[in-house]
Amino acid sequence: MEFQKDNSFFSGRLKSVGFALKGAYKLITTEHSVMVQFSLAVLLVIAGFYFHISREEWMIQTLAFGLVLGIESLNTAVEKIADFIHPEFHDRIGFIKDIAAGAVMFAATAAIVVGLLIYVPKFL
């Protein structure tokens, strides 16, 4: 099957958005870690409305869970590619997967700190 490039700016961008939405849907419906993180993001949106967080807090919160979901998505892609290339366990593939998972941990840790900075004062 040959891939044909769409040279039209508008229809090409529309197709790109379609592929991105398809990928996001696949992530949210098939990957357990993304399901959990997406659910937490939805809960944070609900909490944001409940606690009437400021515009700045909305921006930081949105960036935090966007970062986590984006890095988790890339981590999933790295894992899928690694499994496709080398389905059996291999130390070097494991090393690569661990590094990608570590990137998710950094983003998630930052997001937890952001959440604590926003919501702990609401309870005090």
Indicate if the pLDDT at residue 1 is higher than 60.
no
108, two tokens: 């998630």
25-84 pLDDT tens trace: 999 999 999 999 999 999 999 999 999 999 999 999 999 999 999 999 999 999 999 999
Calpha distance 122→36 (Å, rounded): 24
